[in-house]
Structure 1
């Protein structure tokens, strides 16, 4: 990553990022940017990710950040993680939840014919895990008053994106958990938010059927174009810092303006071209 200006937004703060895998992941970029903004960082993921991802490299880049093996879908793992975190680092000022998974999407099962065991797993790993992280952080007194909790969402929580399948339901549940927990956390001046990011070329994102088309469409529909993982991380720094101390229970769009657009001239021109060219419509599958 090229050198950019840093502002010390997280100087003196400590935090843990759950879910970074490799350089393409948003969680990776958040951890790296938080470290460069002055924070002391810890990293967590499941055992398989620690073996097959590049987590050790990220740890080195973040000042030899401690790594914690934790399956966020298991109570005992999360409880043990926060106990160990508190022993090694003390209580933290921010928690980042960058976790999501759908076996139904991996296997490309149609939404009307999902494997329900996998569906429940999608909801557990991608949404209930946030509730679990927050609950055990509080039980272990592992997050400081005035802290910030942040998770990553997608606009499919509010609109239908055909191939996003059961992950759309998971993101809806994720955002609901944020709203439900918000007033409860506010008693300790802790805020909780989600960021709804543009389609991003991560390992998880790239596994969605038709992702390239989703990405291109979003880019054409966004006045500023799609936001990268690195740009998302930069925005996250403001939400983790004290600059956002009165922002809570929000789903914050970071998508180049996509969420507020009806149509753009490039998209109108493309649609007009396709609608008036039967051969082209057939070639791109519009007849489907």
Structure 2
């Protein structure tokens, strides 16, 4: 059901690739709520993904931009303002990639060139995006900037690797820039710490299906889906949250407040009863994860 929460608003969506993307779902919901959109991703992602389909569905224009390139970002915001005939009301940053994760390198033996790339793509691009928007006065007063994060910024999660560091930096940028942009332009900046979600990138993390099962058992409301994340994000783009800023907002079915649930404990006890697990500690460790 649409509520016209974004009627007349204009926004830029970073990171939609295909229908599994959180950014894709957010773009669909923003369109349903009355927003006009510009969709952006790298030239390669646009060629390899299905963004043409999303653009047609939402009546949006696409502008190719590498979010790690200040020049590309300057061009993006300039063209978006031309398309919209003025300033922008909201921006979504839903970008993340780790070469170390893709190469399955363990955290205690990562490649530092890859690490730098992880940080640049997954976190520093957020700073660059906000800095360019502020310098070009691209975002309207009381506008909203949202980035998608994950609880690995606060807690150690098996095999999430250097993406955890990137998410911690991402959330810090939201706080530091949120103060400056809020004080000067009343632009609010927040991050959404989303449940593990089966996006194309998410499924590339080792043990992802096991993680999904664990968080589902731990969360009293269950894992939050990409569609539900889109619903939540729309409220942050809307005028209903004009005084919410510099926050990392958990959207995870209650997982972030849990220590142990009955369902998770039951599964854990079953793993201890498994003869193979008792005989092989490594298997037991895998079962716990």
Q: What is aligned with 1:75?
A: 70
1:188 matched residue in structure 2: 185
- SS of structure 2 residue aligned to 1:51: helix
Alpha-carbon distance between aligned partners in 2 of 1:283 and 1:113, rounded to the nearest angstrom: 23
Identify the match of residue 39 of structure 2 among 27, 34, 43: 43
User: Are 2:100 and 2:110, in contact at CA under 8 Å, matched by a contact in 1?
Assistant: yes
Structure 2 residue aligned with 1:277, among 274, 279, 282? 274
Q: Deviations over 1:209-264 (max 9, x none)?
A: 11011111011101111111011001111111010001000000000110011111
Q: Following the alignment from structure 1 to structure 2, what is the Cα–Cα distance between the partners of residues 278 and 158?
A: 34
Match of 1:216, SS? Answer: helix
Question: Any conservation in 1 of the 2:5–2:33 contact (CA below 8 Å)?
Answer: yes
Contact 2:134 2:181 in 1 (8 A): no
1:170-185 mapped onto 2 (5 Å cutoff):
170-185=166-181
Instruction: Report what 1:22 is aligned to.
Output: 18
Q: Distance in 1 between matches of 2:162 and 2:98?
A: 7
Task: Give the corresponding residue for 2:201.
Answer: 204
State the Cα distance separating 1:273 from its structure 2 match: 2.1
Q: 1:111 and 1:62 mapped to 2: Cα distance?
A: 40
CA distance in 1, matches of 2:250, 2:137: 30
Post-superposition CA distance 1:131-160 (Å, at most 9, x none): 111111111121101100000000000000
1:83-137 C-alpha deviation (Å, 9 max, x unpaired): 1111221211000001000010001001011111110000000000011111111
- In structure 2, relative to structure 1, the CA distance for the partners of 1:286 and 1:70 (3 Å cut) is same
Count of residue pairs brought into register by the alignment: 283
**What TM-score do you get using the length of structure 2 for normalisation?**
0.95
Following superposition, the deviation at residue 280 of structure 1 comes to 4.2
2:140 and 2:15 map into 1 onto residues whose CA distance is 21
Query: What's 2:107 paired with?
Result: 111
Structure 2 equivalent of residue 88 of structure 1: 83
Match 2:210 to one of 197, 209, 213: 213
Per the TM alignment, residue 162 of structure 1 is displaced from its structure 2 partner at its CA by 2.0
Q: Is the 8 A contact 2:216 2:223 kept in 1?
A: yes
Please give the alpha-carbon distance, in whole angstroms, between the structure 2 residues aligned to 1:11 and 1:88: 17
How is 1:97-136 mapped onto 2 (pairs within 5 angstroms)?
Answer: 97-136=93-132
The alignment yields a C-alpha RMSD, in angstroms, of 1.3
Q: Tell me which of 142, 145, 148 is aligned to 1:152.
A: 148
Would you say the 8 A contact 2:272–2:284 is kept in 1? no
Distance change >3 Å, CA 123–CA 287, structure 1 → 2: closer
Residues 151, 193 of structure 2: 8 Å contact kept: yes
Which of 233, 237, 242 is the matching residue for 1:240?
A: 237
Q: Which residue number in structure 1 is paired with residue 2 of structure 2?
A: 6
Q: How far off is 1:284 after superposition?
A: 8.0
Contact 2:100 2:111 in 1 (8 A): yes
Which secondary structure does the structure 1 equivalent of 2:39 belong to?
strand
